[in-house]
Structure 1
């Protein structure tokens, strides 16, 4: 089954939800082109989320997707937190900041029933999750209003788990993908594989549609994924230069430079493994640091460094999220890019049912 059939889109393209570099403007542009536009919601407060929901429900042409995190919260370990702050202290001194003013907190909270009640009146057509799924009754509630439930899997075991828990489709996230890894059964990165190794195994093992994600940056990549059995493709990095994205000027400059050829998985920004362009803090502390508290607890201490450095014109401490293949990044309208992505895929009308 292709995404057009499952989700009601015109094209088999999902714009990946990318927290920190987009709002509903990008979501709406992709929806208008016939793809599935996504809105990252994990870092939105209730008021901001309601405002975005009103815009999407009133203006979206076709279905749209809300994305949330389903991670488990962990209590802070005072010893580990102090070790992390000690590691960051020289950078605070360099930037004229006081590390003792850092406020504890996660910065990202998992999807909960309060959020469910907030979104329910808007009946979002698609709700997707990173780091697993919420409880079964929550999944059933979303399905009850006709919503489709998607989630990310980074291994075959995770794909099978998501199918067993009622997901309508699985997003197979290859190791090439930018941003946070969606793993939830194991944090062992050696268990994870590239998109075009993971995808066919998942297609063969699952009875629900599989969506390819990671390293897909152009129409040829989308067509290749679908030739291997994908129901469609989720694309993120390629949208980062679009005018509808809120990508900072520093991030855009990095994406257009030779620096973008070197990405790595790092935990120094949030505590969770995420792929981005290598910069100073990744080089000096990691990229995978044993000192960083687990996701999402590392972010409270690293975020002030980013803010101060960016004000001074530096991306030394910024999460410059990017997949390994940024060749498809174009500073063109997101609607045009969406249509380009699907250009080599046969239209549904030409496929024998």
Structure 2
């Protein structure tokens, strides 16, 4: 893909790309090295997800992606939260019917830090130019090491209070996640009394409030599915738009066939749930979510408990016990190579921008 916007922000490789679109880090194999490389080669920016990988596996994926593309890309790391005191044993027992249905035992609940420290070492050693964090704030020493290494630090936030904390910690850029986003909510602390783990800000109000409080460059994320949405968030002050669901059907993505078919069908609603992982996440409504809606706030404990059941459902081609993460506007996703999707989004964005300037008499 050639062309793009002529404006350059000079804020580092994340916000100085020809195409002001970021391909979101989608863990679990969806954001493959091929997807990341294809997006970067087409002029956008993209993140390789470190979530659920060992540090050694992450190193391998970074090297594999570098073997596919010579341009910069980023890595996203999950920040470990404190261990939950919620009753995971009771929830595990409630899954006996699922065990019988799929012929596998549920996993054992257990907390881990997702190899956090070793992953920091990996991105420092390999001099990754942009590192983003989700689920909380990176440590003070981690931020210092990354910045001394020339790395741009991005923190995902969902509220103005989180944004202020990230700015104080030394974030260079904030990824502002609105309520319509697919996958896990980026809340720092999961308030189990609230469906989304905390206050649910729509994207445009979040951009406006956070921009007024911090003054940091903002990447807008959550429910964006069309080039007109990209133009809208740029007009609202973001330096780039981050999309994930829009790329789920790309030929380079590691999305399962079951997942792809349901996106193409486009008839189900999405909802926020803790049922699969113990942390609020947006995905397609299915039987498992409906029958296990009372899941406690306990991440990553419940992720380990339900993992064997989800894997068995995938093997059976049964979407009713799979975590089918996607944003509210998922039905807009197109089946095409990532470069073609980016080209389409940019064409739509330019059309929207031209209509806006015409409407405003510019």
Identify whether the pair has TM-score above 0.5, normalized to the shorter chain: yes
Structure 2 matches for 1:283-322, cutoff 5 A?
283-286=290-293, 289=294, 291-322=295-326
Alpha-carbon distance between aligned partners in 1 of 2:228 and 2:244, rounded to the nearest angstrom = 15
Pair 1:133 & 2:137 matched = yes
Matched, 1:6 2:12: yes
Is the 1:158–1:185 contact (alpha carbons within 8 Å) kept by the matching residues of 2?
no
Deviations 1:286-323 (A, max 9, x none): 1xx2x435111101221111122222221111010110
> Which residue in the other structure is 1:350 paired with?
none
User: 2:221·2:241 contact (CA, 8 Å) conserved in 1?
Assistant: yes
2:64 is the counterpart of 1:55: yes
Alpha-carbon shift at residue 23 of structure 1 (Å) = 1.7
Residue matched to 1:247: 255
* Worse overlay, 187-196 or 14-23: 187-196
1:259 counterpart residue number: 267
Q: Which whole-Å deviations, capped at 9, do the CAs of 1:315-353 have from their partners, x for residues lacking one?
A: 11101011001243111110121233233258xxxxxxx
Checking the alignment, whether the CA contact within 8 Å between 1:43 and 1:107 is kept in structure 2 is no
**1:97 CA displacement:** 2.6
Does the C-alpha gap of structure 1 residues 327 and 307 become closer, same or farther in structure 2, counting only changes over 3 Å? closer
Determine if the alignment matches structure 1 residue 336 to structure 2 residue 340.
yes
Residue in 1 that maps onto 2:114: 109
Offset at 1:107?
6.7
Cα separation, 2, equivalents of 1:329 and 1:304 = 28
- Please give the secondary structure, in 2, of the residue aligned with 1:256: helix
Give the counterpart of 1:277 among 279, 284, 287. Answer: 284
TM-score normalised according to structure 1 size = 0.90
| Contact kept? 1:72, 1:110, Cα under 8 Å | no
- Are 1:144 and 2:148 counterparts? yes
Report the Cα offset of residue 65 of structure 1.
0.7
Select the residue among 174, 189, 192 that pairs with 2:200: 192
Number of positions where the alignment pairs a residue of Structure 1 with one of Structure 2? 337
Shift of 1:2: 6.1
What are structure 1's unaligned runs of at least 5 residues? Answer: 347-353
Q: Is 2:44 the partner of 1:35?
A: yes
**Gaps (5+ residues) in structure 2?**
1-6, 354-362
Aligned to 2:3: none
Give the TM-score of the pair, scaled to structure 2: 0.87
**Distance verdict in 2 for CA 1:98–1:296, change over 3 Å:** closer
